[in-house]
Chains A and B, each alone.
Chain A
Protein backbone atom coordinates (compact mmCIF):
# COMPACT_ATOMS: atom_id res chain seq x y z
CA UNK A 1 0.00 0.00 0.00
CA UNK A 2 1.16 3.49 -0.81
CA UNK A 3 2.61 5.61 1.96
CA UNK A 4 1.98 9.21 2.96
CA UNK A 5 5.33 10.14 1.42
CA UNK A 6 4.25 8.69 -1.95
CA UNK A 7 1.27 10.98 -2.35
CA UNK A 8 2.27 14.05 -0.35
CA UNK A 9 2.84 17.45 -1.90
CA UNK A 10 6.37 18.56 -1.14
CA UNK A 11 5.98 22.20 -1.93
CA UNK A 12 4.00 23.70 0.89
CA UNK A 13 2.99 27.33 0.67
CA UNK A 14 4.51 28.78 3.85
CA UNK A 15 4.32 32.25 5.33
CA UNK A 16 5.73 33.78 8.52
CA UNK A 17 3.25 34.28 11.37
CA UNK A 18 3.37 38.05 11.10
CA UNK A 19 2.15 38.06 7.49
CA UNK A 20 -0.97 40.24 7.17
CA UNK A 21 -4.13 38.12 6.69
CA UNK A 22 -4.93 39.90 3.43
CA UNK A 23 -1.52 39.08 1.96
CA UNK A 24 -1.69 35.43 3.04
CA UNK A 25 -5.16 35.13 1.48
CA UNK A 26 -3.87 36.69 -1.75
CA UNK A 27 -1.09 34.10 -1.95
CA UNK A 28 -3.50 31.25 -1.20
CA UNK A 29 -5.76 32.37 -4.07
CA UNK A 30 -2.80 32.97 -6.38
CA UNK A 31 -1.37 29.49 -5.85
CA UNK A 32 -4.76 27.81 -5.97
CA UNK A 33 -4.11 25.81 -2.79
CA UNK A 34 -6.40 24.91 0.08
CA UNK A 35 -3.96 25.31 2.93
CA UNK A 36 -0.87 27.19 3.97
CA UNK A 37 1.70 26.51 6.64
CA UNK A 38 2.64 29.18 9.16
CA UNK A 39 6.30 29.22 10.08
CA UNK A 40 8.19 30.84 12.90
CA UNK A 41 11.98 30.91 12.68
CA UNK A 42 11.96 28.10 10.16
CA UNK A 43 9.67 25.87 12.21
CA UNK A 44 6.09 25.14 11.13
CA UNK A 45 3.81 26.25 13.96
CA UNK A 46 0.33 26.13 12.45
CA UNK A 47 -1.88 25.67 9.42
CA UNK A 48 -4.46 27.91 7.80
CA UNK A 49 -7.08 26.28 5.59
CA UNK A 50 -10.01 27.75 3.66
CA UNK A 51 -12.16 26.96 6.69
CA UNK A 52 -10.01 29.19 8.92
CA UNK A 53 -10.74 32.12 6.61
CA UNK A 54 -14.47 31.31 6.81
CA UNK A 55 -14.24 31.14 10.61
CA UNK A 56 -12.32 34.41 10.77
CA UNK A 57 -14.78 36.35 8.61
CA UNK A 58 -17.79 34.80 10.38
CA UNK A 59 -16.43 35.79 13.78
CA UNK A 60 -16.07 39.44 12.80
CA UNK A 61 -13.17 39.66 15.24
CA UNK A 62 -10.27 42.03 14.79
CA UNK A 63 -7.20 40.21 13.56
CA UNK A 64 -4.25 41.48 11.59
CA UNK A 65 -1.83 38.64 11.18
CA UNK A 66 -2.12 35.13 9.87
CA UNK A 67 -0.96 33.67 13.21
CA UNK A 68 -4.13 35.14 14.79
CA UNK A 69 -6.35 32.85 12.72
CA UNK A 70 -4.19 29.72 12.28
CA UNK A 71 -5.13 26.30 13.63
CA UNK A 72 -2.84 24.59 16.11
CA UNK A 73 -1.48 22.13 17.16
CA UNK A 74 0.02 20.55 14.05
CA UNK A 75 -1.38 17.15 13.22
CA UNK A 76 1.29 14.96 11.66
CA UNK A 77 1.96 11.48 10.38
CA UNK A 78 5.29 9.80 9.74
CA UNK A 79 6.39 9.60 6.11
CA UNK A 80 6.07 5.79 6.24
CA UNK A 81 2.45 5.85 7.47
CA UNK A 82 0.29 4.04 4.92
CA UNK A 83 -2.83 5.54 3.33
CA UNK A 84 -5.28 3.92 5.73
CA UNK A 85 -3.34 5.15 8.75
CA UNK A 86 -3.19 8.65 7.22
CA UNK A 87 -6.94 8.49 6.53
CA UNK A 88 -7.60 7.39 10.13
CA UNK A 89 -5.62 10.30 11.60
CA UNK A 90 -7.58 12.73 9.42
CA UNK A 91 -11.02 11.38 10.28
CA UNK A 92 -10.19 11.10 13.98
CA UNK A 93 -9.10 14.72 14.08
CA UNK A 94 -11.81 15.86 11.64
CA UNK A 95 -9.27 17.54 9.38
CA UNK A 96 -8.67 17.64 5.64
CA UNK A 97 -4.91 18.20 5.67
CA UNK A 98 -2.14 16.48 7.55
CA UNK A 99 1.58 17.24 7.64
CA UNK A 100 4.13 14.53 6.89
CA UNK A 101 7.24 14.42 9.03
CA UNK A 102 10.47 12.60 8.53
CA UNK A 103 13.54 12.01 10.62
CA UNK A 104 16.70 13.34 9.07
CA UNK A 105 20.26 13.17 10.17
CA UNK A 106 21.87 16.57 9.78
CA UNK A 107 25.49 17.02 10.87
CA UNK A 108 25.20 14.05 13.20
CA UNK A 109 21.98 15.31 14.77
CA UNK A 110 18.73 13.41 14.41
CA UNK A 111 16.16 16.00 13.47
CA UNK A 112 12.48 15.58 12.74
CA UNK A 113 11.21 17.88 10.05
CA UNK A 114 8.10 18.44 8.00
CA UNK A 115 8.64 17.24 4.46
CA UNK A 116 5.19 17.50 2.91
CA UNK A 117 1.45 17.75 3.29
CA UNK A 118 -1.35 15.36 2.32
CA UNK A 119 -4.94 16.39 1.72
CA UNK A 120 -7.94 14.15 2.28
CA UNK A 121 -8.69 14.48 -1.40
CA UNK A 122 -5.27 13.02 -2.25
CA UNK A 123 -5.91 10.06 0.05
CA UNK A 124 -9.40 9.38 -1.31
CA UNK A 125 -8.08 9.64 -4.85
CA UNK A 126 -5.64 6.78 -4.23
CA UNK A 127 -7.79 4.47 -2.11
CA UNK A 128 -9.74 3.01 -5.07
CA UNK A 129 -6.50 1.39 -6.28
CA UNK A 130 -6.70 -0.91 -3.26
CA UNK A 131 -10.41 -1.49 -3.57
CA UNK A 132 -9.66 -2.85 -7.05
CA UNK A 133 -7.07 -5.25 -5.75
CA UNK A 134 -9.10 -6.73 -2.91
Chain B
Protein backbone atom coordinates (compact mmCIF):
# COMPACT_ATOMS: atom_id res chain seq x y z
CA UNK B 1 0.00 0.00 0.00
CA UNK B 2 1.34 3.42 -0.94
CA UNK B 3 2.26 5.64 2.01
CA UNK B 4 2.34 9.37 2.40
CA UNK B 5 6.16 9.34 2.36
CA UNK B 6 6.08 7.80 -1.12
CA UNK B 7 4.33 10.79 -2.67
CA UNK B 8 5.20 13.72 -0.38
CA UNK B 9 7.40 16.55 -1.47
CA UNK B 10 10.29 17.41 0.80
CA UNK B 11 11.23 20.70 -0.83
CA UNK B 12 8.49 22.80 0.73
CA UNK B 13 8.20 26.33 -0.65
CA UNK B 14 8.39 28.84 2.19
CA UNK B 15 8.60 32.52 3.00
CA UNK B 16 9.63 34.20 6.26
CA UNK B 17 6.85 35.56 8.49
CA UNK B 18 7.79 39.15 7.67
CA UNK B 19 7.36 38.64 3.90
CA UNK B 20 4.54 40.32 2.02
CA UNK B 21 1.68 38.35 0.49
CA UNK B 22 3.04 39.45 -2.90
CA UNK B 23 6.38 37.78 -2.16
CA UNK B 24 4.49 34.59 -1.30
CA UNK B 25 2.58 34.89 -4.61
CA UNK B 26 5.86 35.21 -6.51
CA UNK B 27 7.29 32.12 -4.82
CA UNK B 28 4.09 30.25 -5.74
CA UNK B 29 4.42 31.25 -9.39
CA UNK B 30 8.18 30.63 -9.63
CA UNK B 31 7.94 27.16 -8.11
CA UNK B 32 4.61 26.26 -9.79
CA UNK B 33 3.01 25.29 -6.49
CA UNK B 34 -0.38 26.09 -4.95
CA UNK B 35 0.76 26.65 -1.40
CA UNK B 36 3.63 28.20 0.52
CA UNK B 37 4.36 27.74 4.22
CA UNK B 38 5.20 30.69 6.44
CA UNK B 39 8.16 30.26 8.77
CA UNK B 40 9.24 32.12 11.86
CA UNK B 41 12.83 31.13 12.46
CA UNK B 42 12.60 27.42 11.60
CA UNK B 43 9.06 26.88 12.80
CA UNK B 44 6.10 26.67 10.41
CA UNK B 45 3.47 29.11 11.70
CA UNK B 46 1.02 29.15 8.80
CA UNK B 47 0.23 28.28 5.21
CA UNK B 48 -0.99 30.41 2.33
CA UNK B 49 -2.59 28.89 -0.76
CA UNK B 50 -3.82 30.18 -4.11
CA UNK B 51 -7.35 30.18 -2.65
CA UNK B 52 -6.25 32.86 -0.18
CA UNK B 53 -5.41 35.09 -3.16
CA UNK B 54 -8.88 34.60 -4.66
CA UNK B 55 -10.28 35.63 -1.27
CA UNK B 56 -7.98 38.66 -1.28
CA UNK B 57 -9.23 39.67 -4.72
CA UNK B 58 -12.82 39.23 -3.49
CA UNK B 59 -12.08 41.75 -0.76
CA UNK B 60 -10.83 44.25 -3.30
CA UNK B 61 -7.15 43.30 -3.49
CA UNK B 62 -4.78 45.14 -1.12
CA UNK B 63 -2.37 42.36 -0.21
CA UNK B 64 -0.61 43.05 3.09
CA UNK B 65 1.90 41.04 5.07
CA UNK B 66 1.69 37.31 4.50
CA UNK B 67 0.63 36.67 8.11
CA UNK B 68 -2.56 38.71 7.52
CA UNK B 69 -3.74 36.29 4.84
CA UNK B 70 -2.36 32.88 5.87
CA UNK B 71 -4.23 30.07 7.64
CA UNK B 72 -2.81 29.30 11.05
CA UNK B 73 -4.58 25.97 11.40
CA UNK B 74 -2.00 23.50 10.15
CA UNK B 75 -3.39 20.12 9.21
CA UNK B 76 -0.74 17.45 9.61
CA UNK B 77 -0.44 13.74 8.94
CA UNK B 78 2.15 11.15 9.92
CA UNK B 79 4.66 10.24 7.20
CA UNK B 80 3.75 6.55 7.29
CA UNK B 81 -0.02 7.01 6.96
CA UNK B 82 -1.86 5.45 4.01
CA UNK B 83 -2.87 7.64 1.08
CA UNK B 84 -6.51 6.87 1.75
CA UNK B 85 -6.20 8.31 5.27
CA UNK B 86 -4.58 11.42 3.82
CA UNK B 87 -7.52 11.78 1.47
CA UNK B 88 -10.06 11.31 4.26
CA UNK B 89 -8.33 13.92 6.40
CA UNK B 90 -8.31 16.41 3.51
CA UNK B 91 -12.00 15.85 3.01
CA UNK B 92 -12.80 16.12 6.71
CA UNK B 93 -10.81 19.34 7.18
CA UNK B 94 -11.73 20.71 3.74
CA UNK B 95 -8.10 21.38 2.76
CA UNK B 96 -6.03 20.42 -0.26
CA UNK B 97 -2.63 20.30 1.42
CA UNK B 98 -1.30 18.41 4.42
CA UNK B 99 1.97 18.93 6.21
CA UNK B 100 3.78 15.65 6.83
CA UNK B 101 5.27 14.92 10.24
CA UNK B 102 7.90 12.47 11.33
CA UNK B 103 8.87 12.30 15.01
CA UNK B 104 7.21 15.66 15.60
CA UNK B 105 9.11 17.45 12.83
CA UNK B 106 7.59 18.67 9.58
CA UNK B 107 9.40 16.75 6.85
CA UNK B 108 7.24 17.31 3.79
CA UNK B 109 3.95 18.26 2.23
CA UNK B 110 1.32 16.41 0.19
CA UNK B 111 -1.36 17.94 -2.00
CA UNK B 112 -4.56 16.25 -3.11
CA UNK B 113 -2.97 16.09 -6.56
CA UNK B 114 0.03 14.19 -5.17
CA UNK B 115 -2.31 11.77 -3.43
CA UNK B 116 -4.44 11.15 -6.52
CA UNK B 117 -1.33 10.75 -8.67
CA UNK B 118 0.06 8.26 -6.18
CA UNK B 119 -3.16 6.29 -6.32
CA UNK B 120 -3.18 6.42 -10.12
CA UNK B 121 0.33 4.95 -10.23
CA UNK B 122 -0.44 2.17 -7.86
CA UNK B 123 -2.46 -0.89 -8.83
CA UNK B 124 -2.95 -1.92 -5.21
CA UNK B 125 -4.34 1.10 -3.37
Contact = CB atoms under 8 A, between A and B. Distances in A.
A74 interface: no
B95 interface: no
A100 to B, nearest CB: 19
Interface residues of A, number: 25
What is the predominant secondary structure among interface residues of chain A facing chain B?
Answer: helix
Contacts, number: 81
Q: B interface, by DSSP: helix, strand, loop or mixed?
A: helix
Interface stretch (A38-46, A49-57, A108-116): A49-57
A50 B34 contact: yes
Chain B, interface size category, equals: 20 to 34
Interface of A: 21-22, 25-26, 28-29, 50-51, 53-58, 60, 94, 120-121, 124-125, 127-128, 131-132, 134
15 contacts: A28-B54, A51-B34, A54-B29, A54-B53, A56-B57, A57-B53, A58-B29, A124-B117, A127-B119, A127-B120, A128-B119, A128-B125, A131-B122, A131-B123, A132-B123
